[in-house]
Amino acid sequence: MRFVSSRGAGAGTGFSAAILDGLAADGGLYVPEHWPQRHVQDFAGADHLPVVGACLLAPFAAGDVLAPQLRDIVTEAFSFPAPRVGLTDDDRLSVLELFHGPTAAFKDFGARFLAACFARLQPPQAAPLTILVATSGDTGGAVAAAFHRRPGIRVVVLFPQGRVSPTQERQLTCWGENVISLAVRGTFDDCQRLVKEAFLDEGLRQGMRLSSANSINLGRLLPQSVYYAATSLAVFHKYGEPASFVVPSGNLGNVVACLWARRMGLPIERVVLAHNLNRAVPDYLASGEWQPRPSIATLASAMDVGNPSNMERLRSLYPQLAELRHAVSADWVTDDQIRARIVEGYERFGQIWCPHTATAAEVYARLPAQERAARRWVLVSTAHPAKFAEIVEPLIGRAVPVPESLAALFARPTKCEEIDAQLAALRGVLEKRS
């Protein structure tokens, strides 16, 4: 399998090289050169995430140095569950809980897969590898946890100062050692821009080995297809029907992973994108004009993205607007609607939802009644509500239980450095700490 740039320039590269490079030479994102087709029968007996993952991802690693180690990699990465919890008696509405990993967010799946790959690709005597990661909340904590104390690797986390929840900020700044946390005076889009500029800076690339751990990295995004594959297979085996997903969407990595699983032949029907006030994608589908814009701070902070990187992959998958409109739909919600849906989810289902999950629930509730009744809908729950306790608890009138993994982080000291949203400031930190 070869991987090519979403911008169409240059020759293809292999699985390991695409993961190590992070970004294609022309600034585009790596996408598969062709799509292997998988069938339900290919997954016979695959009833656990690692088994599904090994089967689903095998064609992408075929012929690569990591291919013989793929089963060990997915076993290491997917060591926690992704349960689907029914919300209605007929099971036509359920929620996919992706927050049972070490940092209580869906990013744990891809971050741990990527760390397992990097650990096997790092030669013992090689120069240290610097991994840059921009985060709007959950990514940085997941990557920091996955790479903490990994020999020969340092992680530099960039997050928008004052634009993540207090719990998320603690997760981003409590590591130390080989993890450097940078509070950027700007937005997530500024953080993302800095990472891309660093990759394209010849001086930095010559002076150090750089890679990324955002969903711009193929090794972060491909494994996220695994929980969509596993969930759709479970629904199909139980009911003989495909699953339809409502996906909280910001930088679009999670929904692209779902669409990749569908492109490979998994039994997935409708895919609906749920956005907050950062509505560039819903507006594009409505108007046909792509107009990225500065991000807006909302309660669903991990989705505060005004210029999502993975739009390149989305448009690579569906080059024509008509194709994209046929493949997905999208809607957006306000903070007040998120608050109301958190309350409704607790009162109606006994569920405690983070703002991102509530965004998906609100978008689902707006679908026509006939549409809701006709399919098996799965709301994608991307983060544990304890990460947003200051938002959720006043709304439901009770304390949110804190997972042990988060409680352990609260006891750690924090450390971070503030920088301006300029490449020179990032370069200074990287060169000083090299």
Digit-coded pLDDT (tens) for 62-106? 999 999 999 999 999 999 999 999 999 999 999 999 999 988 999
Phi, psi angle pair for 107, to nearest 5°: -65, -15
What is the residue-averaged pLDDT of the chain? Answer: 93
Q: Report which residue type is found at 368.
A: P
Which bin fits 194, alpha (ψ -120 to 50), beta or left (φ > 0)? alpha
**Residue among 26, 11, 59 at smallest CA distance from 260:** 59
High-pLDDT (> 90) share of the chain, %:
73
Residue partners of 313: CB distance under 8 A and separation at least 6: 6, 29, 31, 221, 252, 256
Q: Residue 89: helix, strand or coil by DSSP?
A: coil
For residue 180, what are the β-bridge partners?
Answer: 156
Please count the helices (runs of H) and the strands (runs of E) in the chain: 20, 13
User: How large is the C-alpha radius of gyration of the chain?
Assistant: 20
Give residue 296's pLDDT. 92
For the beta carbon of residue 37, count every other beta carbon within 10 angstroms. 10
* Distance between first and last Cα of the chain: 34
Contact yes or no for 300/356 (Cβ under 8 A): yes
Residue position matching structure tokens 């699983």: 261
Q: Report which residue type is found at 6.
A: S
Give the integer Cα–Cα distance in Å for 302 and 137. 5
For the beta carbon of residue 162, count every other beta carbon within 10 angstroms. 9
What is the residue-wise DSSP string for 398-428? Answer: SPPPPPHHHHHHHTS----EEEESSHHHHHH
> What does the pLDDT look like over 118-131, one tens digit per residue?
989 887 777 788 99
Give residue 72's pLDDT. 97
Phi, psi angle pair for 123, to nearest 5°: -65, 145
Residue partners of 123: CB distance under 8 A and separation at least 6: none
- Residue 161's alpha-carbon distances to 171, 172, 173, 427, in angstroms, are 14, 11, 12, 18
Q: Residue 331: helix, strand or coil by DSSP?
A: strand
**What does the H/E/C string look like for 247-290?**
EECCCCHHHHHHHHHHHCCCCEEEEEEEECCCCHHHHHHHHCCC
Contact yes or no for 134/199 (Cβ under 8 A): no
DSSP-derived letter for residue 206 is: H
| Domains of the chain by start residue, with CATH | 81-105+221-401 (3.40.50.1100)
Give the integer Cα–Cα distance in Å for 211 and 198. 10
Give the integer Cα–Cα distance in Å for 213 and 139. 8
Contact yes or no for 262/271 (Cβ under 8 A): yes
The segments of the chain whose pLDDT lies below 50 read none
**Residue among 257, 317, 252, 313 at smallest CA distance from 28:** 313
Q: Report which residue type is found at 211.
A: S
Give the integer Cα–Cα distance in Å for 102 and 111. 11
Cα angle value 319/322/324 (rounded, 5°): 60
Q: Report which residue type is found at 25.
A: A
**Claim: this prediction has a pTM higher than 0.75:** yes
Strands 129-134 and 153-160: parallel
> What does the pLDDT look like over 373-427, one tens digit per residue?
999 999 999 999 998 999 999 999 999 999 988 888 778 888 999 999 999 999 9
Give residue 9's pLDDT. 67
